[in-house]
Structure 1
Amino acid sequence: MNEDRIKGQWKQLTGKLKARWGKLTDDDLAVAEGDSKYLVGRIQERYGIARDDAERQLKDFDSRL
């Protein structure tokens, strides 16, 4: 993910992130504040998927923005 773009638009993106990954909590997103590595870890943990899969999903999400 483009870290600068994410940090600049974080508040707008939190709603889209929660719509895509509903198991992410407000606290998860507040701590992440645009940190894609943290976000990948949270997606991996909440959904019980491999890190590679979480990274791929986040990359796909980013490319659709």
Structure 2
Amino acid sequence: MGRGELPGVDTGTRLFEDLGLDSTSVIELLMLIETQTGAEFDTESLELEHFATVGTLTDFVSSHG
């Protein structure tokens, strides 16, 4: 297992249903990602579909980095 990997979590893992995140958790997660990567996310471009799964969030973050 690599750094930051969680057992049983993959690109298809759903953020809300499987991991129990809520809207506040997602905003906190984005703020942490911004702090750790230096990326900045335009809140106007945020769509619910970006947060469907670990994979869709990864794609969203990658497109802004």
Query: TM-score, normalization: structure 2?
Result: 0.46
Structure with more relative contact order (C-alpha pairs < 8 Å, separation 6 or more) = 2
Q: Whose Rg is larger?
A: 2
Q: 1 or 2, which has the higher helix percentage?
A: 1
